[in-house]
Amino acid sequence: MSSKSVLVTGGLGFIGSHTVVALQKEGYKVVIIDNLSNSSIDVLGGITQITGKTPEFENLDLRDKEAVKNFFEKYPDIEDVIHFAASKAVGESVINPLLYYENNIATLVYLLQELNKKPNARFIFSSSCTVYGQADELPITENAPVKKAESPYGNTKQIGEEILQDTCKTNLHFKAIALRYFNPIGAHPTAEIGELPIGTPQNLIPFITQTAIGKREELSVFGDDYPTEDGTAIRDYIHVMDLAEAHVKALKRLIDAKEKSNYEVFNLGTGKGNSVLEVIKSFEKVSGEKLPYKVVGRREGDIISAYADTTKANEDLGWKADRSLDDALKSAWKWQKVVRKREEEEN
Ligand code: WQD
């Protein structure tokens, strides 16, 4: 176990905070950078409640190149970075592409410029299955072609991976793993941390739980005319705790120098696809709530079906998602009820 700290950027965000918990559980010391643009300082308390350890926290915007440089002067020993900090709303990226290119690309470059000065640095990049677009073959392996992104958000993930590849080519002491997430859902079983969408949720699960709690009128199901069994689109919904644990496995792979090359890519999914209607049915079962929904037209840019071939992650990371869709939806519902209680106490 390295006695040095691991930097987690975006560590107060949804996937970042769950990964911090998983890292601390494995005995890693963690330093979080977060600019709180899409998270709350309360998450730090949630992490501490779960693990009994409060990570060091720097409220810092990675778009400030000088601040990034100063950070690594303050923490000269840090050589392991898990990079979550980025904007991630597909729709917003179409409306405001430059915000996405600055916040998702410039920040990556500033981080890598500092890490490149170190004799050894290890970097884990938060990527997305969105790079595949609608894959020609299912399940999707890491060899599936990367397709022209449907959104600036998706493009920043593709460009981010290319930047990493080029950096690894020119610096063999720099090792990186890109993790292509499928659809992260759920919350920590203690309901101390979870997903905190700001405004109207874009993603399916938070919209479902906010509808069930009465915050939204009804769920709109975006299309039931897809060429699937029940006509609704299929995704690979992975419990955020399974996803978090995969990051620890990836870090261990880099620290133990088990990697086959200094740049590797892994799909992180369950390997199983579920349709929107199947998710609704599962949610109603685990929550005991009837979910009001109506079928509307397809959402622009949505693909028909995506689910992961998890062989490579199973074999090379020694990792497998072992929580079910029911587990994830149950944890999301438990978390939603906690959030609602807090909102009522605040008002
Ligand atoms: C899932 C399914 C919708 C909302 C995106 C990004 C991906 C990642 C996760 C950031 C689709 C349907 C949704 C609703 C619905 N982003 N849906 N009604 O689009 O698969 O993936 O978010 O990390 O990179 O591409 O996720 O949750 O938005 O949609 O019917 O109100 O639910 O059409 O079939 P998506 P999603």
Q: Is 202 in the pocket of ligand 1 (CB under 6 A)?
A: yes
Q: What is the pLDDT of residue 1?
A: 59
Counting as low any pLDDT under 70, the low residues of the chain are 1-2
Among positive and negative, which fits the CA dihedral 173, 78, 100, 249? positive
Site to substitute for ligand 1 among 216, 222, 325, most atoms within 8 A of C-beta? 222
Question: Where exactly does CATH 3.40.50.720 map onto the chain?
Answer: 5-186+236-270
Contacts of 272 (CB under 8 A, 6+ apart): 236, 307, 325
Angle between helical axes of 204-212 and 276-287 (0-180°, round to 10): 40
Nearest to 248 by CA among 18, 10, 71: 18
What's the CATH architecture for 5-186+236-270? 3-Layer(aba) Sandwich (3.40)
Ligand 1 pocket check for 157: Cβ under 6 Å: no
Residue with tokens 């069994």: 229
Q: Report the candidate in 112, 223, 126, 128 with the shortest Cα–Cα distance to residue 168.
A: 112
**What is the second-level CATH architecture of the domain 204-234+272-307+324-346?**
Alpha-Beta Complex (3.90)
Atom of ligand 1 nearest to the CA of 128: 24
Residues in Cβ contact with 115 at an 8 Å cutoff, skipping those fewer than 6 apart: 72, 79, 81, 121, 123, 174
28 CA from centroid of ligand 1 (Å): 32
Pairing of strands 237-239, 183-185: parallel
CA-nearest residue, atom 2 of ligand 1: 204
Q: What are phi and psi of 45, to 5 degrees?
A: -65, -40
Orientation angle between helical segments 325-346 and 276-287, nearest 10 degrees: 60
Q: How far is it, in rounded angstroms, from Cα 261 to Cα 267? A: 17
Pocket-testing residue among 146, 204, 234, 325, ligand 1, by greatest number of atoms within 8 A of Cβ: 204
Instruction: Write out pLDDT tens, residues 245-255.
Output: 999 999 999 99
Chain centroid to CA 37:
16
DSSP designation for 320: -
ipTM for the predicted complex comes to: 0.97
> How high is the pLDDT of residue 2?
60
**Ligand 1 atom closest to the CA of 184, numbered from 1:** 9
pTM of the model: 0.97
Q: Hey, what are 195's tokens?
A: 């997903």
**Ligand 1 pocket, 203 CB below 6 A?**
yes
Per-residue model confidence as pLDDT tens digits over 99-153: 999 999 999 999 999 999 999 999 999 999 999 999 999 999 999 999 999 899 9
Looking at the CA of residue 298, tell me the nearest atom of ligand 1: 33
Residue nearest to atom 34 of ligand 1 (CA): 233
276 in contact with ligand 1, CB cutoff 6 A = yes
| pLDDT value, residue 192 | 98
Contact call for residues 128 and 84 (beta carbons, < 8 A): no
Q: Is the CB of 81 under 6 A from ligand 1?
A: no
User: What is d(CA 100, CA 86) in angstroms, rounded to the nearest whole number?
Assistant: 8
Ranges for all domains in the chain classified under CATH 3.90.25.10: 204-234+272-307+324-346
Residue at token pair 């999301």 = 332
Q: Rg of the chain's alpha carbons, rounded to an integer?
A: 19
